[in-house]
Amino acid sequence: MRNQRIEKTGSVEAAPLEDKETGQPISRDLTRRTFITAATASVAALAAARIIPPGILRAVAAPRGGGAVVRNALHIPPVTPVQVPPGTFLPLWAAPATVDLGGEGGHKYSSVLAYNGTFPGPTLIARQGDVAAIRLHNGLTNEPTITHWHGMVVPTVADGHPLYAIAPGATYDYEFQINQRACLNFYHPHPHMLTSKQVNLGLAGGFIVRDAEEDNLHLPSGVYEVPLILRDASFDSAGNLTYNPTSSGFFGKTSLVNGTLNPKLNVDRGVYRFRVLNGSNARVYRIALSNGAPFTVIGNDGGLLESAVSVSQIEFGPGERLDLLVDFSGLSGGNKIMLRDLAARWDLIEFVGTGNGGYAYTPPSPLSTIVSLSGPTNVTRLFSFEGMHSINGLRYEMNRIDFQVPFGVTERWRFTTKGNAPHPVHVHGASFQVVSRSGGRGQVFPWERGWKDTVLLNDKEAVEVLIRFDQYRSSLYLLHCHQLEHEDQGMMSNFEVV
Ligand code: C2O
Ligand code: CU
Ligand code: CU
């Protein structure tokens, strides 16, 4: 099985090297390179002697990097329920691990940090009303950590605030009831100034909430519901994941989907439900299908949209989620469609038709009911995201409370930027409704309707949201940029719901 923990730490023999030009990990098997060089030399010698076997010349003359990419089966993280028998806890270990990223037609081992030894971490799952009981174990060598359940509305003590970070060897018990709609959330570390590094080195996973409303839609499920955790990555010369941000953030040279290099997924002739999470530190994706077919967007951060909407490209930033239906009923056996990122011009994952019958599905209309928040037409609070480290002139201080929000009152928040965007703005403790975007892209996109907890703020844009904290009174929450290097440099505020 892929991605099981092989040993606690340390690199292994077969780790990949990075190709200097493509940034793609390459085989560490030096004999392969040596062989190619030798083959080239001998063909040159043969050519000089005009006795070239035709097959050999063609093989050697293939353009560099033009050979077919060997694709690896997409890794699907194990699914783990968070409601466990009373008095017990689901153990969640944050620790160094060695995992297999797939690799070009073979195994590529990499040292990472992982939850429960898998990369990404196990997909946690719960139903609305469940009580999650999770015991975080800090198995890191020398760093504090704490886990945040991004998108989950929970009391402060369960929210993974950096004040609650635990030392190596310590544990932290979480218990919280899930009182929200079906959705895909994102768990990851949140320790002071260490979030970006720990997430980048592999501590991240999906957290799926189910409910009766979603059950009634009979959406594609089982093998037809697939998580796609997108992120970028860099590798050191030993083939291990390495965190090497520049001042403007971490931009890896390689794409990983569910921790798999060059992934593929065999798909039947039917509709698939993809639960997509942008798990990158800083990278904004603009996804599209290579055949130009649209995505049917049925949900986002906070669950189902009011109705399904068809779009051919989607731009989304770190921390945002998408619930997408893709219809492969026209894809015959052996034919392929690529999910691409138009921003970086990357191939993210290849879908290969099996030719077998699949799940026929058309979403009903409406899908759900979204009650619009009604709130003030004037801005209640203005947040200016400045440089790479401040909000309204303040850098984050763990012990300073920057503002107080009245419990149960709908407010209108306006997010603006003074440069260094994109800033994916994220709020803990409540979902919000995006009501306007002016300047820049100048519109609220179809995938930003419904309930969100993270919204992308580009240069020259002002985004307004309506938000109401109506779950937990007297709580301490965070507002921050989810470009994780910005967050760690101080683009984060503490606020209290009072
Ligand atoms: Cu996903 Cu405060 O973070
Ligand atoms: Cu969060
Ligand atoms: Cu930012």
In this prediction, residue 309 carries a pLDDT of 98
pTM above 0.85, yes or no: yes
Q: What is the pLDDT of residue 247?
A: 77
Residue for token pair 């190709």 = 19
CA-nearest residue, atom 1 of ligand 1: 150
Q: Do residues 398 and 304 share a domain?
A: no
Total domains in the chain come to 3
The CB of 486 under 6 Å from ligand 1? The reply is no
Distance 42 CA to ligand 3 centre (A): 54
What is the 428 CA–ligand 2 centroid distance (Å)? 5
pLDDT band at 342 (very low <50, low <70, confident <90, very high): very high
Q: How far is CA 226 from the centre of its chain?
A: 13
Model confidence band, residue 8 (pLDDT cutoffs 50, 70, 90)? very low
Kindly state the percentage of the chain with pLDDT values over 70: 86
Per-residue pLDDT for 181 more than 90? yes
- Atom from ligand 1 closest to the CA of residue 190: 2
- Which pLDDT score is estimated for 104? 59
Ligand 1 pocket, residue 492 CB under 6 Å: no
Residue 430 lies in domain: 381-497
Q: Rounded distance, CA 144 to CA 50, Å?
A: 66
- Give phi and psi for 494, each to the nearest 5: -90, 140
- Of the residues 325, 357, 389, which one is the last residue of a structural domain? 357
Nearest CA to ligand 1 atom 3: 150
Which tokens in the block code for residue 227?
């998580």
Nearest-5° Cα angle at 37, 32 to 42: 120
Give per-residue pLDDT as tens, 269-293. 999 999 999 999 999 999 999 999 9
CB distance 190 to ligand 1 below 6 Å: yes
Q: Which of 357, 392, 423 is the last residue of a domain?
A: 357
What would the pLDDT profile of 377-396 be if each residue is shown by its tens digit? Answer: 999 999 999 999 999 999 99
Least confident of 10-14, 85-89, 175-179: 10-14
Let me know whether 290 and 386 are in one domain: no
Least confident of 59-73, 78-92, 153-167, 400-414: 59-73
Task: Note the ligand closest to the C-alpha atom of 493.
Answer: 1
Which atom of ligand 1 is nearest to 428's Cα?
Answer: 2
273 shares its domain with 400 = no
Q: Report the pLDDT value the prediction gives residue 69, as an integer from 0 to 100.
A: 85
CB atoms closer than 10 angstroms to residue 232: 22
More confident residue, 27 or 360: 360
**Closest ligand to residue 425's CA:** 3
* Pocket of ligand 1 contains residue 150 by CB under 6 Å: yes
DSSP assignment letter at 389: T
User: Is the model's pLDDT at 431 over the cut of 70?
Assistant: yes
* CB-ligand 1 contact for 319 (6 Å cutoff): yes
Distance 282 CA to ligand 3 centre (A): 9
How far, CA to CA in Å, does 357 sit from each of 5, 191, 360, 362, 482?
35, 47, 9, 16, 40
134 is a domain residue: yes
What is the CATH number for 294? 2.60.40.420
Q: Are residue 116 and residue 147 in the same domain, yes or no?
A: yes
